[in-house]
Structure 1
């Protein structure tokens, strides 16, 4: 395995910076890597809120009776509890389903912002105000990033991406997901360390905000050469920051929307190396692992028409001249909801079995 992933670290917390330059750096990282570290100085996402969210995850996965979680099993609205092996992110190559548990929280009620629109285990019913508060923090950060991407791509109007993600413009597939990966020592005979914690995949939406804990290894990205490299929780230069940087990655929808210019990079979570080491100093995959992902999606009715950007237009024209397939070049114009459900049907095989042909036809 090569050295660790060389992903840029960008600080967007200083309002005195040249925003055009910050936007340029963000776009270049999104094109080249598809992943960007955003320094977490505590301004956008307070450290104490990140800590509290991880404590909530521990209560949900370790203290909540399984019967309570089963009563909230994930539905086709992509909200609820996903048990071990329930999700299969790489069905062509996985022997068993993902070795993880997850709980998806959808957007809060538009009329009661501190109330979630889904069943919850009794153990966390009282945590709804905090959950919706944390969602709002992630939402505001994702809007800032969408604004910067619009500036960096020279989109006209500049708020093209931002307005497409505004809650007041309609419901979306945006999800806050808490994740728990049990330690290798707890695996049953049906699963081994040769299996993956989360299969190789790219994310579905516009972008993902990923929060991780220091010392917990496992995330890898696939380079353009097809090699798997680890992604440190704290890249060089951030070890003394108040919290690990937020890892942002471009999703399939935004890549599709920009004609493939912005890169949606394949990644996975594994039990790496001998003894659980992934080659990153201070990190190990031997114990349990937690993470939190905020999957940002546009309003569901948004039509994924080619982005009004000269840079995007020139990129797609160049692809056509080279005889390459042009993403988002179909005659059928997808909405954000159609794009999302197509991907969900591929990951939750049992849940979407009855709709499989419908989404395959849409994709074709």
Structure 2
């Protein structure tokens, strides 16, 4: 049996001097890349999270014609059909020809199984209005509520980037936060994503699927700076890859010591861009979603908020003495960490590189 992931729980809700909290957050980001953020309703009310999940269920139950009309575009907004996205294109291959029949979009020219999930990506909202097509099933009230939830997530992420700058003793300490302040002239790739994973027995051609090898979302690291992940109690399946590059550890929805909290802690994970910025000091940990044994008889829902800096932000070395010392020691290169290699990209260049790999169908006409 796989060993349960040991991930620290950090409470950031206190007032006053946050220096120690900032240091604890940085140490967790260095050691694990994943951190539970204790959520007692101060940053994101439990009711707002519950409401977002209800809207997610409503959206994915919308008629297929409505969702198809909102199919994802090159701006990374909209609906992604079952198996349309392939997060691990190097390993997600067809294991049986019948699997080609279970996707809404033909995979004839792209023989990969793709992820066993649907997703809907929301870009920015202006005056409570989404800047993209939405299924008519969602009312104007739903639209405003989704926008408000997105705003809460963004505010929490700005708080976290401030703490990371403080904990790393970056000069200036608002280096990360400033890079994530957006405007119409400084758009970003930040996305709020609703996710739906059907139960195993509802998958067409399920007799062709090898349960032991099958995954719901392929192994990947996240494209942005950081991700907030919201899950429902009893809906397991998330796993993280160990430092050995071989072993996978399940990530509990409710970590020990938080069972009595009104809602599970929000799960934070460091993304590629913070890893680039720090030369690999902060870990962008590879993770995946799998079928969780006998607990995959119900649909699985999750919500992810992918936080990105504005598109023109350059991913040079962050001005931090600790980051410089880490680079001089060569620890990251010794581990074979790809983010130790200095290749200065902008945030948008990195995002487009990753999207092209994940959405082969969408980008095949732009090769």
TM-score (norm 1): 0.90
1:56 equivalent in alignment to 2:71: no
235-244 vs 321-330, which moves further = 321-330
For each residue in 1:143-178, what CA deviation from the matched residue of structure 2 results, as whole angstroms up to 9, or x when unmatched?
A: 000000000111000000001111237110000000
Name the residue aligned to 1:184: 200
Name the residue aligned to 2:151: 136
Q: 2:243 aligns with which of 224, 232, 250?
A: 224
Shift of 1:286: 2.7
1:347 equivalent in alignment to 2:358: yes
Give the Cα–Cα distance (whole angstroms) in 2 for the partners of residues 176 and 321 of structure 1. Answer: 31
1:165 equivalent in alignment to 2:180: yes
Shift of 1:320: 7.7
Instruction: Give the number of aligned pairs.
Output: 341
Shift of 1:355: 4.1
Shift of 1:326: 6.9
244-253 vs 120-129, which moves further = 120-129
Give the Cα–Cα distance (whole angstroms) in 1 for the partners of residues 332 and 275 of structure 2. Answer: 20
- Give the SS at the match of 2:53: helix
Shift of 1:325: 6.7
1:101 equivalent in alignment to 2:118: yes
**Alignment RMSD:** 1.7
Q: Is the 8 A contact 1:13 1:44 kept in 2?
A: yes
Give the Cα–Cα distance (whole angstroms) in 1 for the partners of residues 200 and 163 of structure 2. Answer: 40
Is there any run of 5+ residues in structure 1 with no aligned partner, and where?
A: 277-283, 357-364
Is there any run of 5+ residues in structure 2 with no aligned partner, and where?
A: 94-112
Give the Cα–Cα distance (whole angstroms) in 1 for the partners of residues 297 and 129 of structure 2. Answer: 37
Give the Cα–Cα distance (whole angstroms) in 1 for the partners of residues 296 and 163 of structure 2. Answer: 35
Name the residue aligned to 2:137: 123
Cα separation, partners in 2 of 1:198 and 1:148, compared to 1, 3 Å: same
Name the residue aligned to 2:190: 174
Give the Cα–Cα distance (whole angstroms) in 2 for the partners of residues 320 and 208 of structure 1. Answer: 25
For each residue in 1:177-223, what CA deviation from the matched residue of structure 2 results, as whole angstroms up to 9, or x when unmatched?
A: 00000011101116523421100111000000000000011101111
- Give the SS at the match of 2:138: helix
Name the residue aligned to 2:103: none
Give the Cα–Cα distance (whole angstroms) in 2 for the partners of residues 254 and 41 of structure 1. Answer: 26
Name the residue aligned to 2:274: 254
Q: Is the 8 A contact 2:242 2:248 kept in 1?
A: yes
Shift of 1:3: 2.1
Cα separation, partners in 2 of 1:13 and 1:327, compared to 1, 3 Å: same
Equivalent residues in 2 for 1:308-319, closer than 5 Å? 308-319=319-330
Shift of 1:327: 3.1
Name the residue aligned to 2:78: 80
Give the Cα–Cα distance (whole angstroms) in 2 for the partners of residues 334 and 119 of structure 1. Answer: 31
Equivalent residues in 2 for 1:1-364, closer than 5 Å? 1-16=1-16, 18-62=17-61, 64-95=62-93, 96-109=113-126, 113-126=127-140, 127-168=142-183, 170-189=186-205, 192=209, 193=211, 194-225=213-244, 226-273=246-293, 276=294, 284-319=295-330, 327=339, 329-330=341-342, 333-356=344-367
Shift of 1:107: 1.3
TM-score (norm 2): 0.89
Cα separation, partners in 2 of 1:14 and 1:155, compared to 1, 3 Å: same
Q: Is the 8 A contact 1:203 1:264 kept in 2?
A: yes
Give the Cα–Cα distance (whole angstroms) in 2 for the partners of residues 92 and 325 of structure 1. Answer: 18
Give the Cα–Cα distance (whole angstroms) in 2 for the partners of residues 36 and 263 of structure 1. Answer: 11
- Give the SS at the match of 2:65: helix
